[in-house]
Amino acid sequence: MSRRAFTLVETLMALSLTAVLAAGCAMLVMEVTQAWSQREITPAFRRHVRGLGGFLEAAVAASAKDPAAARAGRFSVPPGMPAASPPALHLVLRNLGQSLPAPAGSNPDGEGWLLHEPDTGLVMLWRTDREKRLKDGELHRTVISPWCLGIDLLEYDVPRDRWRQISPGESDTARDTRSRVVIRLRRFGEAATLTLNLDPSPADAPAY
């Protein structure tokens, strides 16, 4: 009794079905892996945004209470940088050892300048109060967020009842204006914004 062998057409159909099933399984594995990776990335990014926001809000609050910082103005060119450099947000920093790499075993106060570097992210140039008094060396440089896309400075236009974007050079501490800084962040598909109110906002100011 002779056995019937598979024909060429049947063999090709079987190989085609096997290839389709293998491709489907590979796509499923890739999607599951990507989904698990996204689950790990998203909470980490949100924690980073919350921590960064808390640190910067504390610095803005400390700056508002410091008379010397008020006299110096909200924005200034960091020491040691060319005079033509764009002004950066000048902040009073408390308890540096809790947030920035201050000298081991110390927790000093200091000051910093917040700026965005397109190829790096959000950068803080800073020094301790002791280094300021002694004029000791260059400013320290710390990247506090590699996912910053940019910084926008907004001023509240009362007659037009809206926020308008201005440059740091246009900011004037002496004027009775409301200002805020908006920091835009993105990591992969996740985006966030941090809003720092440099003055108490009026009740009727619209959200940006």
Domain boundaries of the chain, sorted by first residue: 41-197
50 — phi, psi (to 5°)?
Answer: -65, -45
Spatial contact of 120 and 146, defined as CB atoms under 8 Å apart = yes
Whether this model's pTM surpasses 0.85: no
pLDDT exceeds cutoff 50 at 201: no
Per-residue pLDDT of 38-88, as tens digits, reads: 555 568 899 999 999 999 999 999 998 888 776 667 899 999 888 888 899
Burial class (CB in 10 A: 0-12, 13-18, 19+), 192: middle
Would you state the torsion angle of the CA atoms of residues 9, 12, 17, 18, taken in this order, to the nearest 10 degrees?
Answer: 150
Per-residue pLDDT of 92-113, as tens digits, reads: 998 877 778 766 556 789 999 9
Buried b (16+ CB within 10 A) or exposed e, 15-29: eeeeeeeeeeeeeee
Spatial contact of 157 and 164, defined as CB atoms under 8 Å apart = yes
Question: Please, which residues bridge with residue 114 across strands?
Answer: 89, 124
Name the E strands within 94-178: 110-117, 121-128, 140-145, 148-157, 162-166
Spatial strand order of the sheet with 148-157 comes to 162-166, 148-157, 179-187, 190-197
DSSP string, 72-113: H-SEEPPTTS-TTSPPEEEEEE--GGGTS-PSTT----EEEE
User: What long-range pairs does 158-162 form, CB within 8 A, spacing at least 24?
Assistant: 161/204, 161/206, 162/206
pLDDT classification of 13: cutoffs 50, 70, 90: confident
143 — phi, psi (to 5°)?
Answer: -80, 115
Q: Return d(Cα 65, Cα 137) in angstroms, integer.
A: 27
Q: Return d(Cα 47, Cα 73) in angstroms, integer.
A: 31
Spatial contact of 121 and 145, defined as CB atoms under 8 Å apart = yes
pLDDT at 203: 46
